[in-house]
Amino acid sequence: MGAYLTKPMEPKTFLKSLSISHITLVAALLFFGAIAYFQSNGISTKTDTNEILLYLVPVTALLGYFGSNYFFKKRINKVNIADALEVKLKQYQKACMLKYILIDAPAILGLLAFQITANALPLLIAVCLVLYLISQRPTKDDVIKNIPLTDAEKQLLG
């Protein structure tokens, strides 16, 4: 098991593994969203409720959206062009996973809030977050655009 943890990251498989992680998070949200929707007894649009979740979901969604962008950029700015490609890719992977989780968590809260309250607002917010998470799919162009790579490293990414 220790050998697995120290296995060097292959540049060509890096994007594939990051994409699988991204797809897994999106699929889990879609699955949970479908369960929440089909178990509901209808959708309410009442806004005169004292349900705390109806206030908590928009706040956490905004924090998740802006926080995901802020912390992603903060981590990416720490990447140095002189670092080895493997170090750069690991830092990019960590930044992406943090970004995905900061979007994923408020979406889960929104789906839970919808399941509890049957109110449309948390469902709408969760759907918007899922769509945003889908749009954050990792691509080779994003890697090249976001982290400083030498020409040789760009070639290795293929």
Distances (CA, A) of 63 to 20, 68, 144: 25, 8, 27
pLDDT above 90: residue 133:
yes
Q: Which residues are CB-contacts of 32 (< 8 A; sequence separation ≥ 6)? A: 108, 111
Name the pTM for this structure: 0.86
Mean pLDDT of 74-89: 91
Instruction: Show the tokens assigned to 74.
Output: 């903060």
pLDDT tens profile 24-39: 999 999 999 999 888 8
pLDDT at residue 76 tops 90? yes
Band (48; pLDDT cuts 50, 70, 90): low
pLDDT at residue 6 tops 50: no
More confident residue, 41 or 116: 116
Residue 60 has pLDDT above 90, yes or no: yes
**Percent share of the chain, pLDDT over 90:** 59
Q: How far apart are CA 26 and CA 134, in angstroms?
A: 7
Q: Which residue has tokens 């962008």?
A: 69
Residue 44: helix, strand or coil by DSSP?
strand
How many Cβ atoms from other residues are within 10 Å of residue 57's Cβ? 28
Higher pLDDT, 86 or 106: 106
Place of tokens 């060097």: 8
